[in-house]
Amino acid sequence: MPTKVVTLAELRGHTTKDNIWVLLHGNVYDVTKFIDEHPGGDEVILSEAGKDATEAFEDVGHSDEARALLPGMLIGEFEKGTNETKAKSYQSTAAAAAMENAVEQTSNVFYFVPLAAIVAYFAWRFYS
Ligand code: HEM
Q: Which atom of ligand 1 is nearest to the CA of 34?
A: 5
Q: Do 35 and 73 contact (CB within 8 A), yes or no?
A: no
**Predicted local distance difference test score (pLDDT) of residue 64:** 97
Closest residue CA from atom 19 of ligand 1: 40
Q: Which atom of ligand 1 is nearest to the CA of 24?
A: 1
Cα–Cα dist 41/121, whole Å: 58
Is the domain of 19 the same as that of 63? Answer: yes
Is the domain of 1 the same as that of 24? Answer: yes
Closest residue CA from atom 21 of ligand 1: 40
**Predicted local distance difference test score (pLDDT) of residue 40:** 96
| pLDDT level of residue 70 (50, 70, 90 thresholds) | very high
CATH code where residue 66 lies: 3.10.120.10
Q: Which atom of ligand 1 is nearest to the CA of 65?
A: 15
Is the domain of 4 the same as that of 57? Answer: yes
Which backbone phi and psi does 56 adopt, to 5 degrees? -60, -45
